[in-house]
Amino acid sequence: MKIHSRAVHVGDRKRPASGPASIPSTTPIHTGTSYAYGDLADLDKVMGNELPGQSYARYNNPTTDALEELVADLEGGAGALACSSGMAALHIAIDTALIDRRRVILAAKLIYGATLGMLTKVFEPAGVEIVYADFDDPDAVATAIAEHRPSVIVMETIANPLLRVPALDKIGRMAREANVVLIVDNTFATPLITRPLEFGASMSVHSLTKYLSGHGDVLGGIVVAGDEHFAPLRALARTVGFNLGPFESYLAMRGIKTFPMRMERHCSNACKVASWLATHPGVERVYFPADPKHPDAENIRRVFAPGLYGGMVAFEVKDADRAGIFRFMNALKMIVPGTSLGDVHSLMLYPAIASHRELAPKHRERLGIRENLVRLSVGIEDIEDIVADLDQALRLHV
């Protein structure tokens, strides 16, 4: 089946081992925290992973199992682990990768601010050495691998917020050759655009909150792992309990059924918005992967599905300081000023006070995140309405 069909069907309609043949057409919400068996020997085998089944909700849950099966299928992994947030998913992915390995992480300089915070405030104080490199330069990555011998690499398919696209295929090959665990945050791209495991990643991480669920009503994350890392990932999850609850799993799975169709609309609208912004007198610069002059155009051609560039657009408002950005965003009538992305409605974020707030202004400037930069998650509304809202806000308040 193609991805649109798999998103609708995978994970649903699990037939019970016994009892009537009828089953619900979609996976229901299972709220039980513990499970009883007629024969204690069966429970023993289930808890020992000798038989499939449920025993305790920290280990697994039928609703969450279905969600995990679905996302693992979409990403092409051996299995998945749904977590309470995207950051929890990234945390347990890194923890899993560090088991019995050198405590050295190589990370991209340009990456989500909360990820930088986790590396510097959680892993570094715990004795993990964190090394940063310019992932827009494959030679710099290769040099860092040779010099620091990391056990883990952390990167994004589309870097937040400047939308750079590292050479995932080349970095994946380097990771395999050096026996390094490559963890890729694929939230911005989604498996419709690229599947990191196909390019050598060991684990692909998503904030379920974003494009996969898509409606701004679920907080969750998920890790998809290959054969080598799925078993240790599940084993660690039994201990730390980062689980996603059944209600959130149900909502996420329901959202994913329309994810490919929604994502195509996000991509289409984003292309049109980026092209329009590039001609606006109130806009200094536009960042978007479809731009033929994008510095990573060759990487995009190799690792992205044809014609799909994501739903994120970043741009700099001409001559605007922080107060000017506030005026501009306060003037928006339909687009929502908010701290997330990937919803059906358009969302705008100011990185300086949100995603990269914890970075010093000079650090942001060095990364290219200027005070006049905003990040737009283009929704699925009518394109004329999105453009009209941006136009009136740019013209009246900057």
Assigned token pair, 295: 């510095």
In this predicted structure, the answer to whether residue 22 has a pLDDT above a threshold of 90 is no
How many whole angstroms separate alpha carbon 183 and alpha carbon 90? 8
Same domain (yes/no): 86, 144: yes
Round to the nearest angstrom and report the end-to-end CA distance of the chain. Answer: 49
Q: Give the per-residue pLDDT at 398.
A: 58
Q: Could you tell me if 81 and 208 are in contact, meaning their C-beta atoms sit under 8 angstroms apart?
A: no
Q: What is the DSSP letter of 233?
A: H
Taking residues 169-195, what's their average pLDDT? 98
Same domain (yes/no): 171, 204: yes
In this predicted structure, the answer to whether residue 18 has a pLDDT above a threshold of 60 is no
Summarised one tens digit per residue, pLDDT across range 208-219 is 999 999 999 999
- Which residue's entry shows tokens 């340009």? 110
Question: What is the helix (H) or strand (E) element at residue 8, kind and residue range?
Answer: helix 3-9
Is residue 110 in some structural domain?
A: yes
Q: Give the per-residue pLDDT at 375.
A: 97
Taking residues 27-43, what's their average pLDDT? 87
Measured in whole angstroms, the distance separating CA 295 from the mean position of its chain's CA atoms is 22
Residue 176 half-sphere exposure, CB side, CA atoms within 13 Å?
Answer: 15
Q: What is the DSSP letter of 196?
A: G
Number of independent structural domains in the chain: 2
How many whole angstroms separate alpha carbon 153 and alpha carbon 151? 7
CATH number at residue 354: 3.90.1150.10
- Which residue's entry shows tokens 């998913």? 89
Question: What is the helix (H) or strand (E) element at residue 182, kind and residue range?
Answer: strand 181-185
Same domain (yes/no): 295, 186: no
CA distances, 317 to each of 67, 297, 388 (Å): 40, 24, 16
Is residue 40 in some structural domain?
A: no
Instruction: Pick the last residue of a domain from 232, 256, 280.
Output: 256
User: In the sheet where 312-317 sits, what is the strand order?
Assistant: 283-287, 312-317, 373-377, 347-349, 336-337
Q: State the average pLDDT for the chain.
A: 94
pLDDT higher at 21 or 211: 211
Same domain (yes/no): 97, 147: yes
Taking residues 232-249, what's their average pLDDT? 94
Q: What is the DSSP letter of 218?
A: -
CATH number at residue 170: 3.40.640.10
In this predicted structure, the answer to whether residue 280 has a pLDDT above a threshold of 90 is yes
Residues ≥6 apart with Cβ < 8 Å to 177: none
Summarised one tens digit per residue, pLDDT across range 47-90 is 888 888 888 888 889 999 999 999 999 999 999 999 999 999 99
How many whole angstroms separate alpha carbon 286 and alpha carbon 277? 7
Is residue 146 in some structural domain?
A: yes
How many whole angstroms separate alpha carbon 355 and alpha carbon 367? 13
Name the most confidently modeled range: 52-66, 232-246, 262-276.
Answer: 262-276
pLDDT higher at 226 or 22: 226
Same domain (yes/no): 233, 376: no
One-letter identity of residue 150: P
Same domain (yes/no): 15, 150: yes
Domain that holds residue 221: 3-30+61-256
Same domain (yes/no): 203, 321: no
Same domain (yes/no): 16, 91: yes
Q: Taking Cα atoms as reference points, which of 383, 189, 371 lies closest to residue 277?
A: 383
The percent of residues in the chain predicted with pLDDT above 90, rounded, is 82
- Give the least confident one: 50-64, 254-268, 357-371, 383-397: 357-371
Residue 349's DSSP bridge partners are 375
In this predicted structure, the answer to whether residue 296 has a pLDDT above a threshold of 80 is yes
Taking residues 22-32, what's their average pLDDT? 87
Q: Give the per-residue pLDDT at 340.
A: 93
Is residue 37 in some structural domain?
A: no
Q: Give the per-residue pLDDT at 17.
A: 58
Q: Give the per-residue pLDDT at 15.
A: 67
Question: What is the helix (H) or strand (E) element at residue 316, kind and residue range?
Answer: strand 312-317
Same domain (yes/no): 223, 311: no
Residue 340 half-sphere exposure, CB side, CA atoms within 13 Å?
Answer: 21
Taking residues 231-243, what's their average pLDDT? 94
- Give the least confident one: 175-179, 276-280, 334-338, 357-361: 357-361
Instruction: Pick the last residue of a domain from 203, 230, 256.
Output: 256
Taking residues 139-147, what's their average pLDDT? 97
Assigned token pair, 105: 């992480």
CA distances, 210 to each of 156, 163, 346 (Å): 15, 16, 12
Same domain (yes/no): 92, 110: yes
Q: Give the per-residue pLDDT at 367.
A: 81
Q: Give the per-residue pLDDT at 36.
A: 83
Reported as a pLDDT band with limits 50, 70 and 90, residue 239 is: very high
How many whole angstroms separate alpha carbon 3 and alpha carbon 260? 7
Same domain (yes/no): 232, 300: no
In this predicted structure, the answer to whether residue 20 has a pLDDT above a threshold of 70 is no
* Active site amino acids: 58, 112, 185, 210
